[in-house]
Amino acid sequence: MKIHPTDLPDVLLIEPRVFRDDRGFFYEAFNADVFAEHAADGLPTRFLQDNHSRSTERVLRGLHYQLLRPQGKLVTCVRGTIFDVAVDIRVGSPTFGRWTSATLSGDEPRYLWIPPGFAHGFCVLSPVADVMYKCTELYDAGDERGMLWSDERIDIAWPVGDALTSPKDQQYAGLDPTRPDLPRYGL
């Protein structure tokens, strides 16, 4: 497994070891011992929930986060292609308001590790995409929060025009450090 830093120090791009031949490929999607070898890099070995999302072309989901029970997310695309984004929304962080991204594809297995305290979103670049992600905390609907995906203060360079979003994702407020529902850096 190879680990690559991103523009945000806590967000990591992970490449599993992939074995390819004429029949296709094989890789270990998760191995706790291998992740434990990289604990110093910030990778967890304990996940409590797995999620699977299927979306069609131009769908944009996010930006989502949890406040009281924040989830770290290990995100991969197993079918199709997505533009995956992490935004540092931790008030007081030296990288507050900055974002990083990775293109994830079912043809080239990679993961984006998004730690707790970051907002997450993605848009679909293929006709259909299946996204799988492991979470470090259980989902709590009452703790669900969001950030406006098109907030000019964050200025994410989404590669889709005329994105299809949910009504809920269209209603979220933008990034403002005075918002009481943002995580705090170092807590």
DSSP per-residue letters across 90-114: -BT-TTTT-EEEEEEETTB--EEEE
Q: Could you give the CA distance from residue 89 to residue 10 in angstroms, rounded to a whole number? A: 12
Q: Taking the model in full, what pTM does it have?
A: 0.95
Average of per-residue pLDDT across 122-151: 97
Amino acid 104: pLDDT = 98
Q: In the chain, what are the domain boundaries?
A: 47-169
Amino acid 21: pLDDT = 95
Amino acid 186: pLDDT = 85
Could you give the C-alpha distances from 41 to 13, 45, 95, 186, in angstroms and in order?
11, 12, 18, 17
Q: Could you give the CA distance from residue 12 to residue 127 in angstroms, rounded to a whole number? A: 27
Mean pLDDT of the chain: 96
- Given 27, 64, 65, 111, the catalytic residue: 64
Beta strand spans in the chain (E)? 2-5, 12-15, 19-21, 24-26, 49-56, 60-66, 73-79, 81-88, 99-105, 111-114, 118-124, 128-135, 144-146
> What phi and psi, each to the nearest 5 degrees, are found at residue 137?
-140, 155
Q: Is 4 a catalytic residue?
A: no
Share of the chain above pLDDT 90, in %: 96
Task: Indicate if the pLDDT at residue 161 is higher than 90.
Answer: no
Amino acid 156: pLDDT = 98
Average of per-residue pLDDT across 4-18: 95
Chain-centroid distance, C-alpha 5: 14
- Given 65, 111, 133, 172, the catalytic residue: 133
Q: Could you give the CA distance from residue 83 to residue 90 in angstroms, rounded to a whole number? A: 22
* Overall fold of domain 47-169: Jelly Rolls (2.60.120)
Kindly report, residue by residue over 58-102, the tens digit of the pLDDT: 999 999 999 999 999 999 999 999 999 999 999 999 999 999 999
Q: Is 133 a catalytic residue?
A: yes
